[in-house]
Amino acid sequence: MNQPIRVLHIFTILNRGGAESMVMNYYRHMDLEKVQFDFLVHREEIGVFEDEIIKMGGHIYRLPAINPLSPQKYNQAFAHFLTQHPYQIIHSHINTFSFYPLKVAKEMHVPIRIAHAHTTTQKLTPKFVFTRPSEAIKILFKDLNKYAVKKQATHLFSCGKRAGDWLFGNDAYKIIPNAIDVAKYVYHQDRASAARAQYNLDNQFVVGHIGNFTHPKNYPFILHVFKQVKDLHVNSKLVLVGGGPLETVVKDLAKTLGIFDDILFLGIRKDIPDLLQMMNVFIFPSHYEGLPVTLVEAQASGLKIFASANISDEVAMTDDVTFLSLTDSAESWAHQMLSRMDDVRHDNTERLKKHGYDVVTSSIALEQFYLTNYSSNER
């Protein structure tokens, strides 16, 4: 029997970020006798998906982190890697940093080199530059570097229009939906009751959020909104799912605001469908995003979502998404959320499928892309 073709996916780490979750959703629905995924990461830390990848037959490789100010060491290491592992398809998910591995891959004559856009970036307002100068410099570097990415790639992919326009400008790109296994997320009252009972959330108004503890997710605003919710409706809890570098800072702020005991910090989890069941509303006030997988999952579960207007409206595939401005007060957000407290949750399966967000169908198209392009470029 012929061996499957192997596609090398490039990430920083294999934790439950949006891009990583999206690729894993597709990976689980590949015909592994035809297409197999391998992964190159840039941290020694073991990611949450690594055990599953190994069980599925994938390989995981590690290289040192990319230093954009001195990339020679990385370039040499990746070139050496490619001499030992002659991939025909490399699919990079590290946004503007995709320039570095794809440039080496081009020099090593890898025929299929995919740059995949998954996010945008913070707008450089005068206030942001003044208050966060080091981050502003990084953003400026990204803005300059993104023009070089597409020159190294043979194919341009994006999770959505806003992310694609940001990274690729006017160049043509293909949208690969952040598709999920929709059936796993459909709301069922018995599942919701069981999940709420497990965490002692009966008779509570539950505000939920899933995301990495990083600046773009805007955790201070989440906490201030929840404080207003709690002041208006005493039987309220906040559920935060995820981990990251700002977790301690967020916990300290929660203590300062006097709401720490009303927050469940659940860490990085694999049982996201069950956790979504027990929430009443979902808050997502990000400073910037591409097209968040988490909001696709939340819509699949029928949750009422309150998202930042900074997020592309293409994520709203149902009537359950309300976009609010970050210039609105935390109290205003709280009133909006509480006004939907008694709303009925709907089954959004068909709507998500219609928009191409059911991975059972979408994975077939990606698999065929890999197979077709591999065959036409066999060496």
For the segment 316-345, what is each residue's pLDDT rounded down to a tens digit? 999 999 999 999 999 999 999 999 998 999
Residue 17's pLDDT is 82
| pLDDT of 129 strictly over 50 | no
Residue 130's pLDDT is 54
| Neighbouring residues of 366: CB distance < 8 A, sequence distance ≥ 6 | 26, 176
Largest pairwise CA distance in the chain: 66
Residue 1's pLDDT is 47
Distance CA 333, CA 306 (A): 8
- What the block records as the tokens of 227 is 């404080």
Residue 18's pLDDT is 84
Distance CA 143, CA 178 (A): 24
Average pLDDT, the chain: 92
Residue 140's pLDDT is 53
- What the block records as the tokens of 28 is 């689980």
Residue 92's pLDDT is 98
| Neighbouring residues of 4: CB distance < 8 A, sequence distance ≥ 6 | 32, 33, 34, 35, 36
Distance CA 262, CA 251 (A): 11
Angle between helix axes 18-27 and 359-376 (nearest 10 degrees) is 80
Q: What's the mean pLDDT in 73-99?
A: 96
Q: How many helices (H) and strands (E) does the chain have?
A: 15, 13
Cα-Cα-Cα-Cα torsion 104, 107, 113, 118, nearest 10 degrees, comes to 30
**DSSP conformational letter for 154:** S
Residue 61's pLDDT is 98
N-to-C CA span, the chain: 20
Residue 145's pLDDT is 72
Complete DSSP assignment for 316-353: --STTEEEE-TTS-HHHHHHHHHTTTTPPP---HHHHH
- For residue 71, the one-letter residue type is P
For the segment 218-274, what is each residue's pLDDT rounded down to a tens digit? 999 999 999 999 999 999 999 999 999 999 999 999 999 999 999 999 999 989 999
For the segment 134-175, what is each residue's pLDDT rounded down to a tens digit? 654 555 555 667 788 999 999 999 999 999 998 999 999 999
Share of the chain above pLDDT 90, in %: 84
For the segment 276-310, what is each residue's pLDDT rounded down to a tens digit? 999 999 999 999 888 899 999 999 999 999 999 99
Distance CA 214, CA 14 (A): 16
DSSP strands (E only) in 57-165 = 60-62, 89-92, 112-117, 155-158
**DSSP conformational letter for 111:** S
- What the block records as the tokens of 142 is 């990204």
| pLDDT of 114 strictly over 80 | yes
The secondary element (H helix, E strand) that includes residue 82 is helix 72-84
Distance CA 85, CA 87 (A): 6
| Coil/strand/helix, residue 166 | helix
| Residue 379 pLDDT grade (very low, low, confident, very high; cuts 50, 70, 90) | very low
Residue 119's pLDDT is 82
Domains and CATH numbers, the chain: 5-179+359-376 (3.40.50.2000), 182-354 (3.40.50.2000)
Place of tokens 């995981």: 60
Distance CA 272, CA 200 (A): 18
CA-wise closest residue to 169 among 143, 135, 139, 141 = 143
